[in-house]
Chains A and B, each alone.
Chain A
Amino acid sequence: MSKEFTREDVNDEQSTEALAEMDRLTHEKWEAALEDGSLVGLECEECEYVTATPNAACVHCGDRSVSPVRLPKQGSVYSKTTIEVAPEAQGSGYQIALVDVGDARVLGRITDGERVDIDDEVELSGPYEYDDDLAPLFEPI
């Protein structure tokens, strides 16, 4: 017969489940890294896919052995668009871009007033804040 799972087990910091929970890259940790000027992603030990945003498992193969990796601050623009009509609090006439940072790709905001094109080199210039969430902000190099 299996042992009853108790409240003590849940609170036991040594339990495997608790450790797994602590090790997981959460949105909170990802945002904290962004505030410190760095981008943290996840690399899958099984298929080696690298993602730039937190997940509980590999978005490519589903394996749960994903480990946090620090992504480069510089990258190149994979695609971009200039947005004129947006929710009011986002403003208008701004760019967003898919940016290749090392082996990962991330959606970021381009610094207001700047314009980037595909293949342009950009650098993480800090967090952009919208509706209490932080997003990567990039500027052209």
Chain B
Amino acid sequence: MARASVVGTGMTDFGVYTKPIAELFADAALPAIDDAGIANDEIDAFYFGNVLGGATTNETHLAPQVASYIGLTPETSVQRYEDACATGSLALKHGVRAVETGDHDVVLVGGAEQCTPKGTGIETSEMTRIFGSGAHKQYEQAPGMTTASVFALHTQRHMHEYGTTEKHLAEVAVKNHYHGSMNSRAQFSEEKTVEEVLDSPIIASPFRLLDCCPFSDGASAVVIVSEDAAESYGVDPIDITGISHQANPVPVADQPNPPSTDMVRRAAQNVYEQADIGPNDVDVAEIHDCFTGAEILALEALGLFEDGQAGPATTEGRTRLDGEMPINPSGGLKAKGHPIGATGTAQIVELTEQLKGESGDRQVEDAKQAIAHNVGGMTATAVVTAMEARA
């Protein structure tokens, strides 16, 4: 039983854009609407993800502005969502609920973000401060915690408890750059070696520059409808069979025993129950690899590998495209890029194409069941989504 179905997808290449945010989003939304074969006046609601507009370009009330630019009628119910890096998935959750309950028949869900120095006119140190705004001002920002360093705290503990090594982490980057080299929309098309990763400068130990996803600009969009209505759109629908949104306590000091990322374990269990599948049924996954260690933590929290085994499994090639559990065929946040408000629905775009068998060189063979994992803030929010191809 699906909760909603994806009937159209679109996304921009991820990289550097200086154009206004509405123009950027149009380059994802209009192709998604065309892909669904619908007219603008059929769209009942538009849920838009954007995180940093208020801090970077002094723009907050973006949903009506973007809706107007792409030609949605004034009758469309429009709303902006913000949930740090899980923003796109939060918008998707509400879209799924809207079509599931019958509140709306057709919902356009997507996100757009500009994070690069060129796209925003803001240099790296200041953008690091703005990215850190997802942290608790008094109990996380004040001592000096950054986005990289919260994942670093989890990862250092993981290394201590399980013997995960910097080389294991580097292998995550190498694998995701390899996948990204087959994705024309990826910000980075070049492959990297373990040596290059280990020779790159430290950002927050154990993470080096090449363990970290880049600052990115880009947009993504999907059109979702109810399961029953999906067939009538004359396209090959992909079903969303589960979506779960869970939180962790803030500040990170109150989260139960890092690196367990308890919220992801809860979300995964919940989503597997909704979709009536188990981790062994998953054929392909898009994982929130904002830092290499984050992919290791996620693979274990999602039950795809035993605790402590994700590092060695990565080094053994088990998460590569031709491995038993292909992870981030898109290149992930690491190589594809991470325009934060657009990331959640970009994962859905990739998995929709994978489940349709339209991913070209990076196609995962016989992909029928997929999951997306999107994390927001200082390991404070997780959204896990299950998707399924129709038989």
Contacts and interface: CB of A to CB of B under 8 A. Distances in A.
Contacts of B153: 79-81, 96, 98
B139 A87 contact: no
A106 interface: yes
Contacts of B201: 84
B148 interface: yes
Nearest to B252: A107
A96 B149 contact: yes
Residue among A52, A107, A136 with the most chain B CB within 10 A? A107
Given A96-B149, A98-B258, A118-B157, A83 B137 contact: no
At the interface, is chain B mostly helix, strand, loop or mixed?
Answer: helix
Contacts of A134: 142
Given A79-B154, A84-B202, A87-B126, A98 B143 contact: no
B157 A83 contact: no
Contacts, number: 113
A130 B252 contact: no
Interface string B19-38: 00000000000000000000
Interface in B123-169: 124-126, 128-129, 132, 137-146, 148-149, 152-154, 156-157, 160
Given A84-B203, A84-B204, A79 B142 contact: no
Interface of A: 27, 51-53, 59-60, 78-88, 90, 94, 96, 98, 104-109, 118, 128, 130-131, 133-136
Given A82-B204, A84-B203, A131-B141, 19 more contacts: A27-B138, A51-B254, A79-B154, A79-B258, A82-B205, A83-B146, A85-B204, A86-B128, A96-B144, A96-B145, A96-B149, A98-B258, A104-B253, A105-B253, A128-B143, A131-B137, A133-B142, A135-B139, A135-B144
8 contacts: A51-B254, A59-B254, A83-B203, A86-B146, A94-B144, A98-B252, A107-B253, A135-B138
Interface of B: 124-126, 128-129, 132, 137-146, 148-149, 152-154, 156-157, 160, 201-206, 249, 251-254, 258
